[in-house]
Amino acid sequence: MAEQVAKRQVSVPLMADLAARGESPEVLFWVGCAGAFDDRYKRVTRAFVRILEHVGVKYAVLGMEESCTGDPAKRAGNEFLFQMQAATNIATLDGYGIKTIVTACPHCFNTIKNEYPALGGNYEVIHHSTFLQQLINDGRVKVQGGESYKGRRITFHDSCYLGRANDIYEAPREVLAALDADLVEMKRSKANGLCCGAGGAQMFKEPERGKKDINVERTEEALATLDGDAAALEALLGVEGGNAGATPSPKKADNGIIAVGCPFCMTMMSDGVKNKERESSVQVFDLAELIASAEGLNA
């Protein structure tokens, strides 16, 4: 750890205040409901704000004026509720003349980027993985001065709404590459990635009857990948493989990390790790948390 230099209290700028002063931000940070309410993901929101503060980007948030994008309603088939939410949010965003939006939620990202235009809302929308990648590439974030992740085993779990939905596979991996960690890929990754089980409004309901919960299946794959446990990997249902019924090897990863870029994936993978009783050896972190920590921004 680098020596604590000093810390500064952050007063997160509200869009309403900027507008009152006749100013406009470079980017609007769309926090999302999970980022605002979910205790675990609030830490991601705060980490991302630390990064924004650190690099000195002129940003703002909507605060209490933000409302659900309508993603879970739309995926669940409630198009009416979705469009009501979209109309409200578009009115707010357009009222402030917002041009560019950054968000740490792939669901918000996908909805605002792809589905708001048909309803009249046109913005440049950036997922925080791409945003962080740009900051690193531009040298504005050096990924040093904080905790070292050198040599730590990290596997990235692709979020469906970032990956397959929007073809963003490289940005999160490049962000992780900057940590100089030992990056390992799951067998089902990128376009073939396996869902955490929370998309399509599953986050808000019990799963249907089945043999296993999807997040457990996915966590088992992530853990086996971090453990380098070939037998356990073989036992998981592959794209075309059968169930070989192998027993997991006793070798366990120590200090492993499952990296995510989505609040729902965060919940599902964290629950999965708890289910497998591996909290002591494997942690689930969002990209922004890893970068803020590596940059030494936590205070």
Partner 1 sequence: MVQVLQQILFLLVAALSIGLFAWQVRKIRANILQGKDRAMGGSVSERINKTLLVAFGQQKMFKRLTPALLHLVVYVGFLVINIEVIEIMIDGLAGSHRILRVLGPGYDALMATNEVLGALVIVAVAAFWWRRNRQQPVRRLTGVELRAWPKMDANIILYVEVALMLALFTMNSADLKLHQLRGEEMPGTFPVSALLVGLMPDSVTALHVLERVGWWIHIVGILAFLNYLPSSKHFHIIMAFPNVYYSRLVPQGQFSNVDSITHEVKSMMDPSYQVPAPPVDAEGNPVIERFGAKDVEDLAWTNLLNAYSCTECGRCTSVCPANITGKLLSPRKIIMDTRDRMEEKFNSPLIFKPNNYKGEDRMQVSEEGTLVHGKVTAEELWACTTCNACVEACPVNINPLDSIIEMRRYLVLEETAAPNSLNVMFSNIENNGAPWAFSPSDRFNWADDLFVAEKA
24-53 residues in contact with partner 1 (CB under 8 A) are 31, 33, 35-38, 42, 45-46, 49-50, 53
Position among 22, 56, 118, 250 found at the interface with partner 1 (CB under 8 A): 118
Strand order in the sheet with 256-260: 182-183, 153-156, 256-260, 282-286
Q: Is 73 in the site for partner 1 (CB under 8 A)?
A: yes
Among 87, 90, 82, 104, smallest CA distance to 30 is for: 104
What is the Cα 193 distance to its own chain's centre?
Answer: 15
The Cα–Cα gap between 47 and 260 comes to: 14
Question: Three-class SS of residue 267?
Answer: helix
Q: Is 242 in the site for partner 1 (CB under 8 A)?
A: yes
Site for partner 1 in 135-194 (CB under 8 A): 145, 160-161, 164-167, 191-194
Which residue, 245 or 250, has its beta carbon nearer to partner 1?
A: 245
Q: Is 201 in the site for partner 1 (CB under 8 A)?
A: yes
Q: Is 121 in the site for partner 1 (CB under 8 A)?
A: no
Q: Is 108 in the site for partner 1 (CB under 8 A)?
A: no
Position among 136, 179, 198, 265 found at the interface with partner 1 (CB under 8 A): 198
Q: Cβ of residue 157: shortest distance to partner 1, in angstroms?
A: 12
Q: Cβ of residue 183: shortest distance to partner 1, in angstroms?
A: 22
Which residue, 155 or 166, has its beta carbon nearer to partner 1?
A: 166
Among 112, 109, 18, 113, smallest CA distance to 60 is for: 18
**130 beta partners:** none
Burial class (CB in 10 A: 0-12, 13-18, 19+), 287: buried
The Cα–Cα gap between 65 and 68 comes to: 10
Q: Rounded to a whole number, what is the largest CA-CA distance in the chain?
A: 65
In one letter, which amino acid is 163? G
Q: Cβ of residue 278: shortest distance to partner 1, in angstroms?
A: 19
Q: Is 20 in the site for partner 1 (CB under 8 A)?
A: no
Which residue, 97 or 210, has its beta carbon nearer to partner 1?
A: 210
Q: Cβ of residue 38: shortest distance to partner 1, in angstroms?
A: 8
Q: Is 56 in the site for partner 1 (CB under 8 A)?
A: no
Position among 81, 177, 183, 231 found at the interface with partner 1 (CB under 8 A): 81
Which residue, 253 or 294, has its beta carbon nearer to partner 1?
A: 294
Q: Cβ of residue 245: shortest distance to partner 1, in angstroms?
A: 12
Q: Which two tokens stand for residue 296?
A: 């030494």
Q: Cβ of residue 251: shortest distance to partner 1, in angstroms?
A: 25
Q: Judge contact between 273 and 284, C-beta under 8 A.
A: yes
Position among 10, 40, 230, 275 found at the interface with partner 1 (CB under 8 A): 10
Q: Which residues contact residue 255 at a Cβ distance below 8 angstroms, ignoring those fewer than 6 apart?
A: 152, 153, 281
- Continuous segment of H or E residues that includes residue 259: strand 256-260
